[in-house]
Amino acid sequence: MLSLIKLPQVVTINQVPKVFHEDGIISGYRYPRSSATDCILSLFQMTNETLNIWTHFLPTWYFLWKLVTVVLMQTAWKDSFTWPLVIFLISCCIYPLASSCAHTFSSMSVPARHICFFFDYAALSFYSLGSAIVYSAYAFPDKWVNSSFHQYYITIAVINTIVSTILACYSRLGLTFLQYNHDIIRRFPECQSPKFSKSLRIVAFAYPYLFDNIPLFYRVFLCVGEGCTDNDTNILHYNHIALAFLTGFLFATHLPERLAPGSFDYIGHSHQLFHVCAILGTHFQMQALEQDMLTRRPWLSSNSIPITFANTMGPALLCVVLNLIIIALYSIPLLSASACEERKHGKDPKKASSKLCPCS
């Protein structure tokens, strides 16, 4: 059937604007003014994005199955103790789905690319908050339960989540706004400082992760003696932490394609490996938290902070609303500028595209 369909054009790095360039990737790029249909069809041909999409789209269904299982088998609507796990599993469904959609439709235009990844970043920050909520409920070491840090932990995590989304979205800002505001060119020379942009994005994701895992790091690496919650779950936490750091390493270094540009364009480049490690890490994280929830429930129910709407569903909903507002604030100028350029050039996609790509 697919043989009867004309698949989208695949081009090289020299045929796309700089905003679409990936370090060490030479070929396999999609046309940067693809239609939505072309983007969907590209799922069924080999491009440098194909495995990026599938490595997150397929796991979405696994996490959705886990979510449905918890909701139906554990009757989550009746048992508030399972609410943190439900929120965490929702975040585990959202972040790979948002990522796969972002990679699928990011070749439609420059503004579309940025907006797609704004949603991707917001989903990651929501996953960070989901992790914090479930850690607060099940993973804190016994001696830290009900401490001052525990009481303010989720509040700080919400703030971190919003800051993370703002920083991550801002790290893309210069790529499109350079041509609209010459002051931004002087203050934020994105095309001249791509390393700064990448570094800002790494900080935006790394800081919330490190904060969220403070109780876990203390529990599995530093705590000794009574109250350290040293149980069989810790080996799963070790696996998750190791994969999380490997994920960050791949994201930051662009290995192996940086060592052999053009050799890993379709299979084996860092973003694909980053996706796989992230999903495996989330899987181990989920297993560890489910085990902590089951084995520690009697003690936590008697000694920990009560699980309520205010420390589970409430922060999650607030995060969603604030993230959508942030995305809108960053996206509206992009859409307005794009519409303005199309009107100026008589809706000629090629001319408008060239004006929207100052780094081309």
Q: Average of pLDDT values for 128-135? A: 98
Q: Residue 181: is its pLDDT beyond 70? A: no
What's the pLDDT score for residue 7?
81
Q: Average of pLDDT values for 149-166? A: 97
What's the pLDDT score for residue 41?
94
Q: Judging by DSSP bridges, how do beta strands 10-11 and 29-30 pair with one another?
A: antiparallel
Tokens 């192996």 belong to residue: 256
Q: Average of pLDDT values for 151-161? A: 97
Read off φ and ψ for residue 53, nearest 5 degrees.
-70, -50
- Who wins on pLDDT, 56 or 74? 56
- Give the 3-state secondary structure of 49-83: CHHHHHHHHHHHHHHHHHHHHHHHHCCCCCCHHHH
Among the residue ranges 80-89, 126-135, 331-340, the one predicted with the least confidence is: 331-340
- pLDDT confidence bin for 3, thresholds 50/70/90: low
Cα separation, 283 vs 230, in Å, equals 21
Q: Residue 348: is its pLDDT beyond 80? A: no
- pLDDT confidence bin for 73, thresholds 50/70/90: confident
What's the pLDDT score for residue 280?
98
- pLDDT confidence bin for 9, thresholds 50/70/90: confident
Cα–Cα distances (Å) from 176 to 15, 193, 298, 305, in that order, read 18, 14, 53, 46
H-helix or E-strand containing 301? helix 270-303
- pLDDT confidence bin for 192, thresholds 50/70/90: low
Cβ atoms 48, 28 nearer than 8 A: yes
- pLDDT confidence bin for 343, thresholds 50/70/90: low
Burial degree of 321 (CB within 10 A; 0-12, 13-18, 19+): exposed
- Who wins on pLDDT, 3 or 130? 130
Q: Average of pLDDT values for 91-115? A: 95
Structure token digits, residue 274 = 């980053």
Cβ atoms 183, 99 nearer than 8 A: no
The partner residues of 30 in beta bridges, in order of sequence, read: 10
- Who wins on pLDDT, 162 or 333? 162
What's the pLDDT score for residue 8?
85
What's the pLDDT score for residue 339?
67
What's the pLDDT score for residue 342?
64
Among the residue ranges 18-27, 204-213, 218-227, 339-348, the one predicted with the least confidence is: 339-348
Cα separation, 19 vs 110, in Å, equals 8
A 10 A CB-CB count for 201 gives: 21
Contacts of 183 (CB under 8 A, 6+ apart): none
Structure token digits, residue 144 = 């830290």
Arithmetic mean of pLDDT over the chain: 88
Cα separation, 49 vs 59, in Å, equals 16
Cα separation, 26 vs 95, in Å, equals 28
| Domains present along the chain, CATH in parentheses | 29-36+45-324 (1.20.1070)
Q: Residue 67: is its pLDDT beyond 80? A: yes
- Who wins on pLDDT, 165 or 345? 165
Q: Residue 255: is its pLDDT beyond 90? A: yes
Contacts of 257 (CB under 8 A, 6+ apart): 23, 24, 25, 263, 264, 265, 268, 269, 270
274, 215, 218, 284: which is closest to 246 by C-alpha? Answer: 274
Cα–Cα distances (Å) from 72 to 16, 58, 91, 282, 307, in that order, read 48, 22, 18, 22, 20
Cα separation, 135 vs 327, in Å, equals 27
175, 61, 169: which is closest to 124 by C-alpha? Answer: 169
Q: Average of pLDDT values for 106-116? A: 92
